[in-house]
Structure formats: C-alpha cells, structure tokens
Structure 1
Amino acid sequence: MLLDRRTRTARVHFANGPDAVEPRTASRRHRLLLYTLPALWTLALGLWGLSRQDSLWRDEAATWQVAERSTAEILRLLENVDVVHGLYYLFMHGLFECFGPGTTVLRLPSVLAMAVAAACVTAVGHRLAGVWAGLGGGLALGLLPAVQFYLQEGRPYALVAAGAGISTLLLVTALQGRGRTAHWVAYGGAVLLSGLLNWFSLMILPAHLATLAWARAGRRVWTRWTAASAAAVTGVLPLALFSRGQSGQVSWIPPLTWHMLIGPAVLLAIGGAGALVDRPQRGRLSPAVVGLPLLAVPQVCLIGLSLIQPLFLDRYVLFSLLGLALLAGAAVGGAVRAAAPRFPRTAVWILPVVTAVAVVALLPQSLAKRSPESRVDDVLAIASEIRRIDRAGAGVLYIPAARRDTRLVSPDAFAGLRDLALAKSPSGSGTLKGVEAGPDRIRAAILTRRRVLLVTDARPVARPVVGGRDTAKISTLEEYFTVVADREVRGRRVRVYERTA
C-alpha cells in the first residue's frame, strides 16, 4: 500500500514536468526558501549603490523636506498641494522621526517594498506554473530597468507595486478555490492602501476584472470581488476627487505623442509573445491569464486618460511590470519543461544561465541607474558648492522658486545667506516652495546687497524665465551686478553676482 502511494505521487510529479509542485509536505518545507530567494535578490539589487554617491534629486527632495515638517504642517500642505502623496508623506515623516533624515531612510522603504513585490510574483508564478516559473518571474522583476530606477527612489511607486503584488496573489488564491472572507478583506485592504498611496493604482482593478473574465470565475468569486473592489474604490474616491483641485501640479506633463507610445508598445509586444508561449486557454488559470492583463490593461488605461488630460508618466503604472515579470518567468518555466525530457541535467541550468546573461546585458543600464547622472539634477551637490563660496554680506535668490528645495534639504549650507525674495516660508505657507514677495520688493531687497548668489537650473535643463518675480530678479542682477563666479554641477547652477556701483 505504501509502495502504491509513492508510485502515484511519482506519476503525478513526472506527469506535470520537472517543476511541478512537490508533495504537500515538501512544498511546505521549501516554500519559504523559494519565495525568499527572489526577495533577497531584489533586496541586494536595491542596496547596491543605494546612496547614488550621496546624491538627491528634486522629487526626492520634496519627500525629504515634507517629511521633516510636523504632522500639522504636513496636513496644511496637503490642503494646497500634493494630497495624492499625503499618506506617503506621513509615513516618511514617521520614519524620519524614528531614524532621522538620510538617503538610506528615504530609499530603504522602496527597496523593501519591491522585495515584497518580487516574493509575490514568485508565489503567483509558482502556484500557476511551477517552481521554475516562480523563480524566473521573481528574479526578472528586479532586473527590469524601470524597476531598478524606482527601486532606489524616495517616492511611493515601489510601495504601490508591493500592494499590487499582494492583491494579485490574493486574487489568485481565491481563483484557486482557497479564498475565504479574510482573503477578500485583505484584497480590498491592499487595493485601498495602494490607492491611497497613488490613486492611479486603481487601474489594477480592470486588470483583475479581465483575469476573472478570462478564467471564467464563478459567481461567488465575482460577488466577493465586486464587494471588495467597491469598498476600496469608495475609500479612495474622496482622495481622487480632492486631488482634481490640485491638477495644476501635473500641468507640466506634455501631451501624448506617438513617440511616447514606443515604450508601452515594446512592453506589450514582449508580454504578448510571453503569453503565446504560455498558450493560455479560456477558463484555465495560467501566468498569461494573470500576467497579460496586469501588464496591458493599466498601460492602455493610462493612455486613454492621457488623451483627455496629459498624464502619461511610466511611473504611474510601474506596478504593471509585475505582469511582465510573471510572463518572463512563465517563459523560463516553459523552456525548462521542454528541455527536461531529453536533457534533464541541462534543464536545471536554464534559469541560472538566462539570469547571468540578463545581468551582463543590463549591467550598463544598472550602473547608469545608480549614478547621480541618472536623475535630472542633484540637490545635495549644488549645496556642497555653495558651502565653498564666500558669503560675507550676501543674499540668495532662486529661479524658479522651486529650487529653494536645496536650502530646505541642506539649511546649513545657506547659513548667513538671506533669502531676498521669500515673504513666507514653505512650512508657514503650506506650500513646497514658499510664497515670494512682489517684483518691486524683490528688486529693492536685491539692491541692499553687494553680493548675491543665484541658484538655478543648469543650462541643458533650464527653462526660459517667466513670471514677474523671476523677471525682476534677472533684470535687476543684469543691470546692477556683474557675474564673478558661475558653477554648474549635476543639473544645478549657482551664479555669484557682485554690485558694480
């Protein structure tokens, strides 16, 4: 009898291929290790060059300066600007309170979140297509260039990806008949939390809807999914509606053009090819049934929204790349299954070889993503330059006013420098860049100084000067002052003016 049981187990194992799920006891024993490997891999990629040579760019500077404010000041800010990132700012404020400000504290949550996302991709791939597909997908996620960029970013997009991974894993659990009420509550909570971090993440719901339809989910699953999704949307809707009043923040995003669609088209082509390898069938749950909608639907939805209002930024749908990683893992798993009958010893080396080749091929991009030059500017580098400048009796100006973020992140570098244009501080005004005085008062303040430092953008990225205040700054400096020093470093520029008469 015992022999018959072992024989039946072996027959099931070999019938499903070399990466089929092991017997239940073995699966439980090794599952934690299986899911941990891609998470540790992603964690290692994130910790590699985490400080980016002690650089900090303007988007991260916004997180930094807001996180250093009090809770009351953050709530006041959110009434005027950046409410879409409110929950993330409060989270980072708590971390800064506990551990102090720093690039590691700023970026480590993104690294950890993407490691969670990698573990979720591994779990989904393992459940749908076996060990090799799970490992392949989890390892692939951390190597994707866009993921490597936001893996080390002090912004909420990696956290949203983690929420997307968790909700997708919970959905697969339910579709496999193991979903209980607690699973659906957790699903709704994951979607809600992701939506509160960035409401664009709600585009995962139509992706999951497509998966349910493709897999021919039963009525019970449809009912529970609808209830959980509706609850999540209801919780996020007030934030989405309130943020519409702050839409001026995204007015800089250019209108959608054909060349902007090249990236999504390439991703969809790769994902489509991976789905064909998986050979998805209607009514059967597979990596393609889960991964292709997760990749394609958010991209298409964002393109559709951008036709109404320019909103096309790849980071808004970063979480869709979990679908691409899942499809890549399925392709690796399919290659292992195809090779195993004839080359059983060689088949186990397919994933290591593919991973090694990908690492080597992507190494130039990986190094570039971890350099200060990968971002448009560096707030900390220009602060270091300002420390070297003689500031006796000098004042400072910023063009545009948003470049005041340098002072907010490195106040010690500006000790003794009077802000000649500032009328009300950023924290006091509930803004990111403060409130400046009128052109006449700025002009008068400039003329009280013998020496003025102008902090602005480097020439390759500088925009034309617009607005009465900035025009008054430039015209006064050019009329009464002479440039005695001009330094550019990593996208920022400081010009030193001295009074000529």
Structure 2
Amino acid sequence: MPVAVPAAAALALGLWGIDRQDSMWRDESVTYQVAHRSLGELWGLLGHIDAVHGVYYLLMHAVFAVWDGGLLALRLPSTVATALAAAGVGAIGARLAGRRAGTLAGLVLVLLPVTQQYAQEGRSYALVTAGVTWATYFFVRGTGESRGGWWTAYALTLGLACWLHEFAALALVAHGLTLWWSRVPRQVWRSWGIAAACVAASLLPLAVASAAQAEQQLGWLGRPSLSAWLQFLVISGVGVLLSRLLVRGLAGTASADADADAVALVRLSVPLLIAPTGLLMAISLVKPWYVDRYVLYTMTGLALPAGAALGWAITRLHRLAPAVRVLTACLLAGAAAAVLLPWSLSVRSPESRKDDVVAVAHAVEKSAREGDGVLFMPARRREWLLSYPSVYGRLDDLALDESPAASHTLQGTELSAEAIRRSILAADRVIALTDPPGQPLDPFAQEVVKRQTLKAYFEVCERTQVLGAQIVVYARPGHCVR
C-alpha cells in the first residue's frame, strides 16, 4: 500500500491532461528534435553542448525509435518516473514512520503542484527525482543494516541520477549531513564514503565535459532573485515546522520506537530538503547555476515529514467524537481541494510555460506562403519551428549558415551580419519570429542588422501574438496583401 497507492495516484494525475491542450514549450521542443537526430548527430551535439543531458537524450532517442508517439511519448517517461518517485517516498516513509505515514508521504509528493508540473514535462527532472528518491531509500536501508548490497544499489542508483543531471550529486551532501546528525558508527561512514566516492568517480567524465560547456549551457542564468530566496526560505521553513511538530507531537505520547523513528525521519528529510538547494543558491551568488527544477528532488524532503505529520494528525483525529471527526475531515479535504485544484488545472494549461511552439508553428503555417523568407529574432528562437519540419521546410531561412544537425548545435549557426543583410534584401516577404514586445533585444551584430534592414526596407503587413512569441509578416512597401 505505501508503494502501490502513491504510484497509482501519480500515474492517474500524470496521464490527466498530459497533452496540455496540445502545447509544447521550447525546452521540450529541444528534447523532441534532438532525440530525433541520428546517434552520430547526437554524439556530435554532445561534444559541443548539452552533455549534461546526454543520457536523457539517448533514452528519449530509444523511446522514439520504439514508438514515435508525439507528445505522449515525449512526456510519458516523466510520468512513469514520477510514479516511481512517489513509490520511493512511500517506501521510505513506511520504513521510518509506518505504512500510513508512508502512504500519505507518497501522496503528498504526488499532489504537490511542482511534482505535477514536471510529471508532464519532456525533460529529465522527474527521472532525476526518482533516482535520488530510490537512492535515498537504499541509503536508509544501508545505514540500518550491515549488508553491502544496499550500498551497491545506492551507488548505482545515485550514479545514474547524476548522469541524468549532475546536480543530483548534491544529494550526497544531504546524505552526509544526515549521517553526521545521526552520529552513526564508523562502519556506516566507511560504507557510505566508498559508495559516495564511486558515484563521484563515475561522474568525473561528465563533470569535465560539462565544465567545458558551462558558459554556453548556463550563461543565460543570473544570480538568484529575492523571490527565489524567499521561496526557498518559505519551503524550508514549512519543512522544518512540520518536522518540529512531528517530533513534539510524538514526544511523550508515543512509544520510544516511534519517537526514534520520527527523529530518524527528520534527520533524513531536513538535510535533503535544504542542503542541495541552499548550496546551489549560495554557489550561484558567485557562479550563477541555480534553477529550481535542477533540484526538484528536494521535494522528497518536504513530502516525508508532511506525510508523517498527517499520519499523526489522523491518529489524533480518531480520538474525537464520530460526528466531529467526519466534519473535520470534510473541512480539511475541502480546504485542500480548494487550494490544490486550481494549481493542478494551471500546470496543465499552455500558459503554465514560457511559450508554446505548437501555437507558433500553427500561426506561421497560417501566415506563410511557400518560399517566404523567415528570420528568427533572436537566433535561438529557431527552436520554435525545428520540431515542425513540415512548416519550417516551406520557408527560406535567410540567416542560416549551417543546420543544427550539421553544425552539431541546438539551433544551428548563422551567417555574418553583412551576408544576412544581403539575404534579407533579396526577399520580397519575410516572416519574423520574435519575442513579445518589451523583451530585451540582443546587441549582437547579426541581430542588429536583422532589425535595421527590416525597418528600413520593409513594412509590417501582419502581427500575430501567441503565448511567449509574436509572428510578424513583412513585405516590400506597397506589397502587403490586406
């Protein structure tokens, strides 16, 4: 029950609205188009950029080779991984706080809006969460038993999670803090140290490759904002508060074993919730690397004390009169639904993401004529059409030098500024794909010449706004078809 019920709930919620109203945002589009490249093209890409996602791209390449199921195939691995993560939380909770607490902890993880969001995301973060969660389960078993098999499973599982995204290695810091807080015997430290060293050693090739790509990979990031710090502090505070309530609620009222289990659960959960995010945000004050989804797996550290606290509260609720118990349960369930349902609906809408490449492709398809020129302003917005070759193939990409596959890049390489200018001037109609009004403009020479040439020699015929983008049709003066 602690494993099966959360897993079933995760699958049900993950499959609900999995197509997100037939939408896909640009990060998912990267997965989709890269996973459809040949193995040779994919290997060439990873030598230049995105090595950190290489194992995930290979997995998705295999998925599409077996079944090219569109958006469902793109997102289903994340849905299944979320079910595995929920099952892992249930197993940890049951081990440390009982079957009821484990079941509830798994369900808490499933119901968190951020979990539901990435359960339907064609990226690696749900898979990383599943890997770290089950590695944490093996960590719990290894600290309580002398069998070396648990530490082998720990090293293999966490190593795989790190290869899916190397910031999973920050879970090692959390686990080390748990051992220090728990004052475990030297033998446990030795076993964990060997396993941790194996994980670190296995990750070394990826770390070297991704370090060389760090500027391209993470150069767009800034230091954590005030809102990011406040979000981290609030979530950490909730986790600590739940942990304190759990320990205080059980102290003196439960058996010594239950009290010890609650303490063990807290010593596992609090470092996992706080340490990876806090460390990554602190590093990002010097070297900006932080994005909240990179440490999505820390939500396991929130779900565990929440589930155990709910289990304790239900036990207390049973002491009330039947009528009061039913009324209280109904009120709490209604309040939870009122809070969570709007969030659940929101993350299943196209508006929950930055843009929608499906909407962009459909808008371009309606506006474009065969042979029209197309410009991506900035060049990285070429991603909006790369997953739709039937639309992109009808257009003449005026700035493209080498295609993404040929150049071993994500969005291809572009001509020099002067060559782009000549290419634009040779066209009669141009479809420009740009960011919405008010967004900062790239200062690079190629981007400047695109804007200046269109302004000087063309007029705007049509402007279409879609989520996170706009499509502008340009033509020579007097040649717009109204």
| TM-score bracket, shorter-length normalisation | over 0.9
* Matches of 2:348 and 2:93, distance apart in 1: 29
Within the alignment, does 1:482 sit opposite 2:449 as a pair?
no
**Contact 1:485–1:497 (Cα < 8 Å) also in 2:** yes
Q: Is the 8 A contact 2:399 2:420 kept in 1?
A: yes
CA deviation map 1:334-365 (0-9, x unaligned): 21333445668987998887555323311111
Residue in 1 that maps onto 2:29: 61
Residue 39 of structure 1 corresponds to 7
Cα distance in 1 for residues equivalent to 2:198 and 2:370: 60
Residues 193 and 464 of structure 1: CA distance in aligned 2, closer, same or farther (over 3 Å): same
Q: What is the rounded CA distance, in whole Å, between the counterparts of 2:302 and 2:233 in structure 1?
A: 13
Q: Which residue identity lines up with residue 468 of structure 1 in the other structure?
A: A
Match of 1:192 in 2: 159
Query: Is it true that 1:383 corresponds to 2:366 in the alignment?
Result: no
1:451–1:499 contact (8 Å) kept in structure 2: yes
The 1:137/1:354 distance shift into structure 2, 3 A limit, reads farther
Alignment partner, residue 20 of structure 2: 52
Instruction: Give, in whole Å, the separation in 2 of the partners of 1:351 and 1:125.
Output: 22
1:77 to 1:119, Cα distance in 2 relative to 1, 3 A: same
Q: CA RMSD in A?
A: 2.1
Alpha-carbon distance between aligned partners in 1 of 2:170 and 2:336, rounded to the nearest angstrom:
30
Q: Provide the rounded CA distance (Å) in 2 between the counterparts of 1:349 and 1:161.
A: 36
**Counterpart selection for 1:238 from 181, 192, 205:** 205
Aligned equivalent of 1:84: 52
The 3 A distance-change label for structure 1 pair 393 and 94 is closer
Q: Aligned runs of 1:207-286 on 2, under 5 Å?
A: 207-248=174-215, 249-279=217-247, 286=264
CA contact (8 A) 1:336 1:348 kept: no
Alignment partners' CA distance in 2, 1:343 and 1:176 = 40
In structure 2, how many angstroms separate the alpha carbons of the residues matched to 1:346 and 1:190? Answer: 46
Please point out which of 166, 181, 195 is paired with 2:148: 181
Q: Letter of the 2:239 partner, please give it.
A: G
For residue 323 of structure 1, report the CA deviation from its aligned partner. 0.7
- SS of residue paired to 2:116: helix
TM-score (norm 1): 0.89
- The counterpart of 1:360, out of the listed 331, 334, 338, is 338
Counterpart code for 2:57: Y
Q: Contact between 2:2 and 2:106, CA under 8 Å: does it hold in 1? A: no
Which ranges of structure 2 fall in alignment gaps of 5 or more residues? 252-258
Residue equivalent to 2:420: 442
What residue number does 1:21 align with? none
* 2:461 match: secondary structure: strand
- 1:342 and 1:486 map into 2 onto residues whose CA distance is 63
The residue type paired with residue 489 of structure 1 is V
| Equivalent residue, structure 2, for 1:133 | 101
CA distance in 1 between counterparts of 2:278 and 2:61 reads 34
1:328 matched to 2:306? The reply is yes
Q: 1:63 to 1:351 in 2, by over 3 A?
A: farther
- Give the aligned residue type for 2:45: L
Counterpart residue number, 1:419: 397
What corresponds to 1:453 in structure 2? Answer: 431
Question: 1:7-22 to 2 correspondence within 5 Å?
Answer: none
Mapped pair 1:465 → 2:442 = yes
Q: Is the 8 A contact 1:120 1:166 kept in 2?
A: yes
The one-letter code matched in structure 2 to 1:221 is V
- Can you list the C-alpha shifts for 1:274-300, whole angstroms capped at 9, x where unaligned? 111222899765321211111011122
* Matched position secondary structure for 2:354: coil
Q: Could you tell me which amino acid in structure 1 is paired with residue 469 of structure 2?
A: R
1:495 lines up with 2:472 in the alignment? yes
Residues 132 and 351 in structure 1, CA contact (< 8 A), matched pair in contact too: no
Match of 2:67 in 1: 99
Matching of residue 111 in structure 1 with residue 111 in structure 2: no
Cα gap change, 1:346 to 1:136, in 2 (>3 Å): farther
Q: 1:162 to 1:393 in 2, by over 3 A?
A: closer
| SS of residue matched to 2:2 | helix
1:119-169 Cα deviation digits (max 9, x unpaired): 111111111111221111111001112212212111111101001110111
Shift in Å, 1:215:
2.4
Distance 1:224 1:409, change over 3 A: same
Corresponding residue pairs, total: 467
Taking a change above 3 Å as real, the CA distance of residues 407 and 292 of structure 1, as seen in their structure-2 partners, is: same
Partners of 2:79 and 2:372 lie apart in 1 by 41
Say if 2:403 and 2:413, in contact at 8 Å, map to a contact too: yes
> What is the Cα deviation at residue 253 of structure 1?
1.3
1:500 Cα deviation from its structure 2 partner: 2.2
What is the alpha-carbon distance in structure 1 between the residues aligned to residue 135 and residue 323 of structure 2? 36
Q: Give the letter aligned to residue 71 of structure 2.
A: T
CA distance in 2, matches of 1:390, 1:298: 47
CA contact (8 A) 1:216 1:283 kept: no
Q: Which amino acid aligns with 1:217?
A: V
Contact 2:368/2:431 (<8 A) preserved: no
Partner of 1:406: 384
* Contact 1:443–1:473 (Cα < 8 Å) also in 2: yes
SS of 1:142 mapped into structure 2: helix
Do the aligned partners of residues 100 and 221 (structure 1) sit closer, same or farther apart at CA in structure 2, a change above 3 Å counting? same
CA distance in 2, matches of 1:407, 1:307: 35
Q: SS in structure 1 opposite 2:473?
A: strand
Greater Cα shift, 352-361 or 210-219: 352-361
Match of 2:254 in 1: none
Are residues 283 and 237 of structure 1, via their aligned partners in 2, closer, same or farther at CA, if it must alter by over 3 Å?
farther
Residue by residue over 1:241-262, the C-alpha shift from the partner in whole angstroms, topping out at 9 and shown as x without a partner, is: 2211112221221223433210
Measure the CA separation in 2 of the matches of 1:231 and 1:408: 39
Distance in 1 (CA, whole Å) between partners of 2:13 and 2:324 is: 27
Q: Distance in 2 between matches of 1:170 and 1:213?
A: 18
Equivalent position amino acid for 1:429 in 2: S
Deviation of 1:225 (Å): 0.9
